[in-house]
Amino acid sequence: MSLPAPTPDALAASHALQHLIAAEIERHAGAISFARFMELALYAPDLGYYSGGAAKLGKDGDFTTAPEMSTLFGATLAHVAAAIMAQSAPRILEFGAGTGKLAHDILTELAAAGVAVEQYAIVELSGELRARQQLALAAFPQVLWLDDFPPAFSGVVLGNEVLDAMPVQLVSKHPDGWRELQVTVREGAFGWLEVAADAALAAQVARQIPAHEELPVGYVTEVHGLACGFMASLARMLLAGDGGAALLFDYGFPAHEYYLGQRAAGTLMCHYRHHAHADPFYLPGLQDITAHVDFTAMALAAQDAGLDVLAYMNQAGFLVGAGIGELLLRTDPADARRYLPQANALHKLVSPAEMGELFKVLAVGRGVELPAALLAADRSHRL
């Protein structure tokens, strides 16, 4: 691969993390699950991708998210949040708030609309990103940071590109059934080791993958057990409160589109300095590792835990239904210097060739309804 060279300090940090992972593998008889490898690569204290000190987002990072592109994204989301808070409580809880840009734009728009937000809580695992958020949100005294789920919550829960960063297990189809792809060390480098899937993993495969028996031998894909657990925890938290909804934005598919024959290598993706590639063992700690989201599995996990599936749609349908076009027109089209950058950003957010179709929105909750204009784009029947 032709990728930018890391700095000496970054390379030293990656080597330290590689030694830590190798020691973990040695302690576990020579192999660990890929989920555990991914967890350490992303979240190991001080060394993991999200817990280390390097910038992750924007032009100097590894990727750019929707809130970084335009204030229109957060402003549009603010109006949906206001409608949900009017039915529940004036509180917002965001998981993985990035640079704090989404929170800033939502709170700014709500303040301009005269909508009071009693509390905006952020659950953030990255110390570097939490520090950036604290600077970006210093003007909003209602913002606070949490280390985990609160026991109960009422209001709006937000997660933008959170589910895709949750560790996954990898499985491979064999003539005698599914095997797990674990991570081992061979000749000083990380590599794959196939082992028989245990009963729990085999049951997850059977539940998650429609017609799994019909997939070809050699088919590799992801199993999203941790993300399903996140959805169950989300449900417990909302059910312990007095009503609310979670809006989850991410790239992915419903199950019948996820597990297609042509996706025989899975959806695992890595991002390093705005380059995408498929090698999860490249410079651990310096690159993001993600998998596309199985939205059917997420919806079922929420439903099994007691929540209602309120809607599922592509990002374009959500943003257009929520009024992003009207918000754009608050800027005079004759003012080309201000209008054109916003119009270009809107195009990227809603175009089917950009983020509009690849990114989806899953809304789950209890005791609230989404605005009728949003429900016109609902595709939950396709889950």
pLDDT in tens, 249-288: 999 999 999 999 899 999 999 999 878 999 999 999 999 9
Q: What is the model's pLDDT at position 64?
A: 78
Q: How confident is the model at residue 53 (pLDDT cuts 50, 70, 90)?
A: low
In this predicted structure, the answer to whether residue 59 has a pLDDT above a threshold of 70 is no
178, 197 Cβ separation under 8 angstroms: yes
Q: What is the model's pLDDT at position 127?
A: 83
Q: What is the model's pLDDT at position 125?
A: 84
- List pLDDT tens digits, range 19-30: 999 999 999 999
C-alpha angle with apex 89: 88 to 90, nearest 5 degrees? 135
Give the HSE-up count for residue 308: Cα atoms under 13 Å, Cβ half-sphere: 11
| Alpha carbon distance 296, 362 (integer Å) | 10
| Alpha carbon distance 214, 218 (integer Å) | 12
DSSP label of 64 = -
Q: What is the model's pLDDT at position 69?
A: 93
Q: How confident is the model at residue 105 (pLDDT cuts 50, 70, 90)?
A: very high
Alpha-carbon distances, residue 219 vs 197, 262, 326 (angstroms): 14, 9, 45
Q: What is the model's pLDDT at position 211?
A: 86
DSSP label of 148 = S
Percent of the chain whose pLDDT exceeds 70 = 97
Task: State the angle between helix axes of 71-85 and 101-112 in degrees (0 to 180), rounded to the nearest 10.
Answer: 60
Give the HSE-up count for residue 363: Cα atoms under 13 Å, Cβ half-sphere: 28
H/E stretch holding 81 reads: helix 71-85
In this predicted structure, the answer to whether residue 165 has a pLDDT above a threshold of 60 is yes
Q: What is the model's pLDDT at position 274?
A: 79
Q: How confident is the model at residue 62 (pLDDT cuts 50, 70, 90)?
A: low
CATH 3.60.20.30: does it fit domain 66-164+228-258+291-382? no
Q: Is the pTM above the cut of 0.75?
A: yes
The alpha carbon of 375 is separated from its chain's Cα centroid by a whole number of angstroms, namely: 22
10 Å Cβ neighbour count for 26? 13
Q: What is the model's pLDDT at position 54?
A: 56
Q: What is the model's pLDDT at position 374?
A: 94
- List pLDDT tens digits, range 118-143: 999 999 988 888 999 999 999 999 99
- List pLDDT tens digits, range 297-342: 999 999 999 999 999 999 999 999 999 999 999 999 999 999 999 9
Mean pLDDT on 168-187: 96
Q: What is the model's pLDDT at position 273?
A: 83
Q: What is the model's pLDDT at position 169?
A: 98
Q: What is the model's pLDDT at position 4?
A: 84
| Alpha carbon distance 94, 16 (integer Å) | 31
In this predicted structure, the answer to whether residue 81 has a pLDDT above a threshold of 90 is yes
Mean pLDDT on 72-95: 98
Q: Where does CATH 3.40.50.12710 sit in the chain?
A: 66-164+228-258+291-382
Q: What is the model's pLDDT at position 1?
A: 65
Work out the mean pLDDT of the chain and round it to a whole number: 94
In this predicted structure, the answer to whether residue 60 has a pLDDT above a threshold of 70 is no
Burial class (CB in 10 A: 0-12, 13-18, 19+), 108: middle
- List pLDDT tens digits, range 207-248: 999 888 899 999 999 999 999 999 999 999 999 999 999 999
